[in-house]
């Protein structure tokens, strides 16, 4: 048996795996102070973004926007409703859909968490320097939006 690459550190997939795990640990550590999971934060931040754009969003639209599984989004939304961070109302035009909005407490939690996550990101990505961070972000965008075969 042989590997295509002589060293694991030459595998972009393996290195992405390692970097992603380290980044997730940093983000989870930052969010622990806010009593949020990473998925809860992503959905709150997605709602915050839509609300700053003056856009109403359904639960499914939020799931698609955040690229979170629809069933996972539903489960997490129930938790966020219980925490009184989100309200979930039947959509006026579609009886099968829920419109979701941040409560005042949810908006405050999203803003505070966003600051913590942005600081964690700055620290985590700082070894790349500003120029390489911009290039890295563009490359990640390319990977994240490429068609999947």
Residues 6+ away with beta carbon under 8 Å from 123: 26
Q: Is residue 13 part of a domain?
A: no
Residue 11 lies in a domain: no
Q: Using CA atoms, how far apart are residues 90 and 79, in angstroms rounded to an integer? A: 17
Please indicate, yes or no, if residue 40 is contained in any of the structural domains.
yes
What's the chain's Rg over C-alpha atoms? 18
The parent domain of residue 129 ranges over 23-145
CATH number reported for the structural domain that contains residue 42 in this entry: 1.10.10.10
Task: Please report the DSSP string for 42-88 in residue order.
Answer: HHHHHHHHHHHTT--EEHHHHHHHHT--HHHHHHHHHHHHHTTSEEE
Q: Tell me, yes or no, whether 12 lies in a domain.
A: no
- 15 falls within a domain: no
**Tell me: the pLDDT tens digits for 88-142?**
988 877 888 889 999 999 999 999 999 999 999 999 999 999 999 999 999 999 9
CA distance 126 to 142: 21
Q: Report how many domains make up the chain.
A: 1
pTM beyond cutoff 0.75: yes
Residue 126 lies in a domain: yes
**What's the CA gap between 18 and 22, in Å, rounded?**
6
Q: Enumerate residues 6+ apart whose C-beta is below 8 A from 81.
A: 87, 88
Query: Would you say residue 35 lies in a domain?
Result: yes
Does residue 80 lie within any of the structural domains? yes
Q: pLDDT for 2-26, tens place per residue?
A: 788 778 888 999 999 999 999 999 9
């Amino acid at each position: 048996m042989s590997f295509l690459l002589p060293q694991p550190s030459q595998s972009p997939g393996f290195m992405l795996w390692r970097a992603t795990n380290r980044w997730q640990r940093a983000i989870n550590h930052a969010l622990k102070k806010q009593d949020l999971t990473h998925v809860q934060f992503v959905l709150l931040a997605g709602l915050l973004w839509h609300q700053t754009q003056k856009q109403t969003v359904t639960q499914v639209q939020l799931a698609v926007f955040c690229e979170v599984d629809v069933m996972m989004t539903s489960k997490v939304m129930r938790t966020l409703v219980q925490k009184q961070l989100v309200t979930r109302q039947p959509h006026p035009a579609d009886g099968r859909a829920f419109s979701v909005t941040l409560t005042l407490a949810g908006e405050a939690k999203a803003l505070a968490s966003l600051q913590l996550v942005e600081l964690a990101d700055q620290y985590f990505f700082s070894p790349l320097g500003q120029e390489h961070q911009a290039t890295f972000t563009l490359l990640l965008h390319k990977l994240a939006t490429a068609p999947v075969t």
